[in-house]
A and B are shown apart, each in its own frame.
Chain A
Amino acid sequence: EGAMSNGVYVPPGAANGEVKPVVSSTPLVDFLMQLEDYTPTIPDAVTGYYLNRAGFEASDPRIIRLISLAAQKFISDIANDALQHCKMKGTASGSSRNKSKDKKYTLTMEDLTPALAEYGINVKKPHYFT
């Protein structure tokens, strides 16, 4: 209420300078033009298939590429976090002095679970199957 001025709502944190409001209009408009050349890893047909199942009919193929790129980034962010976890576990014992941590990293559920927990996704897999 007090933060209302000029009819524009400014969050309380903005006055202190903690939160920077994003005032830009979609910066991706320019990015979308560049996207015509770049092909994401996920094929357009596959992304389009899952979008159609959700009811999303894309008029512009660049929109599909944008979505597939966003999904890719989502997964690779998680993968990077899991890699950090894996590296922390490996070098926590201080063996990096003798030999550098072997370059072979294996993604296990023990690394993936805390990485997902930061995103608010809780996975519980049974340790063994009877």
Chain B
Amino acid sequence: RSGSKHTTTPADNYYLARRRTLQVVVSSLLTEAGFESAEKAAVETLTEMLQSYISEIGRSAKSYCEHTARTQPTLSDIVVTLVEMGFNVETLPAYAKRSQRMVITAPPVTNQPVTPKALTAGQNKPHPSHIPGHFPEFPDPHTYIKTPTYREPVSDYQVLREKAASQRRDVERALTRFMAKTGETQSLFKDDVSTFPLIAARPFTVPYLTALLPSELEMQQMEETDSSEQDDQTDTENLPLHMSTDDSGPEKENASVLQQNTSLSGSRNGEENMIDNPYLRPVKKPKIRRKK
């Protein structure tokens, strides 16, 4: 029941309309009893009593009905309820016959609480089969449906090339600076050490050895291709060939390396021999032994 607020919801209106009907009923009963007029407080009191009386009969009858493990109240439940409330049931038929001359007033209320149509948007979802029909409908779909939107990714070739190039440059720069920060550095300028640090070169005792020897990746690739083309015996034949390159002179090693290189598919072996930085080496693929 709204207190001092002037705006009422449709449910409140529904409730108030019935309350007004009860007041009209009370007024008609008083008129039938012989009163010409009545105090407002008295009518309000009787209306409140009438409403609570009906509610109490309903509650008590339901309780009696459920007490006997039933769900549908019957006449006996109501009789017991009335007796418990101190109502003399025997006088009821006499009263009904007596008051038949009373004018029947108070037409029933017809308005039902309805949500305004202007605010609905979209089709409400119909009830699934497990929900009874008298339950309220689903709310508007926009209240619970979420449709994510995606921005179309940029597919312009120029933009993508620029992005890839700048990313690659940034990665290289970051890695080399990391190497400079964690390893030994040599400075380009005599006084200023921190501005342009260069990764210190590690001098080898035999500087040309790394140029002559094949890198580990090369050796892996050679083993893979050899095993896929030839038998295991030829693998063992090639192995002593690799071992022997350590001992032979530089020209022979060059020639043997070159021969092995030409027998393979073209690869960037020259560069691989120079790159010692583990972060800049190409990816080492796992050995795949193909079954014959």
Whether, in the assembled complex, B170 has its beta carbon less than 8 Å from a beta carbon of chain A, the answer is no
* Complex contact B41–A109 (CB within 8 A): yes
**Interface core residue of B54, B82, B105 (most chain A CB under 10 Å):** B54
Q: A56-B58, A105-B34 are in contact. Are A42 and B91 (CB under 8 A)?
A: no
Bound complex: CA A42 to CA B106 (Å): 7
User: B73 is contacted by which of A39, A56, A70, A72 (Cβ under 8 Å)?
Assistant: A56
User: A59 is contacted by which of B34, B51, B62, B72 (Cβ under 8 Å)?
Assistant: B72
Whether, in the assembled complex, A19 has its beta carbon less than 8 Å from a beta carbon of chain B, the answer is no
Interface size, chain A (Cβ < 8 Å): 61
* Complex contact A50–B79 (CB within 8 A): no
Bound complex: CA A112 to CA B32 (Å): 16
Whether, in the assembled complex, A55 has its beta carbon less than 8 Å from a beta carbon of chain B, the answer is yes
Which residues does chain B contribute within 8 Å of A52, judged by CB atoms?
Answer: 58
Which residues does chain B contribute within 8 Å of A68, judged by CB atoms?
Answer: 54
Bound complex: CA A107 to CA B28 (Å): 13
User: B75 is contacted by which of A40, A66, A80 (Cβ under 8 Å)?
Assistant: A66
Q: A43-B108, A83-B33, A106-B37 are in contact. Are A73 and B59 (CB under 8 A)?
A: no
Q: A63-B73, A63-B75, A71-B57 are in contact. Are A108 and B106 (CB under 8 A)?
A: no
Closest chain A CB from B10 CB (angstroms): 14
Bound complex: CA A49 to CA B42 (Å): 24
Which residues does chain B contribute within 8 Å of A86, judged by CB atoms?
Answer: 35
Bound complex: CA A119 to CA B87 (Å): 11
* Complex contact B59–A26 (CB within 8 A): no
Which residues does chain A contribute within 8 Å of B32, judged by CB atoms?
Answer: 76
Which residues does chain B contribute within 8 Å of A109, judged by CB atoms?
Answer: 39, 41-42, 45
Interface size, chain B (Cβ < 8 Å): 59
The stretch from B92-100, B261-269, B275-283 touching chain A is B92-100
Q: A46-B18, A56-B61, A75-B26 are in contact. Are A28 and B104 (CB under 8 A)?
A: no
Which residues does chain B contribute within 8 Å of A53, judged by CB atoms?
Answer: 55, 58
Which residues does chain B contribute within 8 Å of A79, judged by CB atoms?
Answer: 29-30, 33, 35, 46
* Complex contact A26–B76 (CB within 8 A): yes
Binary per-residue interface labels of chain A (3-38) against chain B in the complex, 1 for a CB within 8 Å, 0 otherwise: 000000000000000000010001111011011001
Closest chain B CB from A67 CB (angstroms): 5
Bound complex: CA A105 to CA B37 (Å): 7
User: B35 is contacted by which of A50, A57, A83 (Cβ under 8 Å)?
Assistant: A83
Whether, in the assembled complex, B243 has its beta carbon less than 8 Å from a beta carbon of chain A, the answer is no
* Complex contact A43–B75 (CB within 8 A): no
Bound complex: CA A35 to CA B22 (Å): 21
Closest chain B CB from A20 CB (angstroms): 11
Whether, in the assembled complex, B53 has its beta carbon less than 8 Å from a beta carbon of chain A, the answer is yes
Closest chain B CB from A40 CB (angstroms): 8
Binary per-residue interface labels of chain B (77-103) against chain A in the complex, 1 for a CB within 8 Å, 0 otherwise: 011001000110111110110011010
Q: Footprint of B on A, CB under 8 Å?
A: 22, 26-29, 31-32, 34-35, 38-47, 49-59, 63, 66-76, 78-80, 82-83, 86, 103-109, 112, 116, 119, 121, 123, 125
Other A-B contacts than A26-B75, A104-B37, 6 sampled, CB-CB below 8 A, are A72-B25, A74-B50, A75-B50, A76-B33, A76-B95, A104-B36
The 13 listed contacts between A and B (C-beta, < 8 Å) are: A27-B89, A27-B90, A27-B93, A31-B93, A40-B104, A45-B18, A50-B18, A54-B54, A54-B59, A71-B50, A72-B25, A86-B35, A104-B37
A-B residue pairs, 5 tightest by C-beta = A54-B58, A56-B58, A107-B38, A51-B58, A79-B33
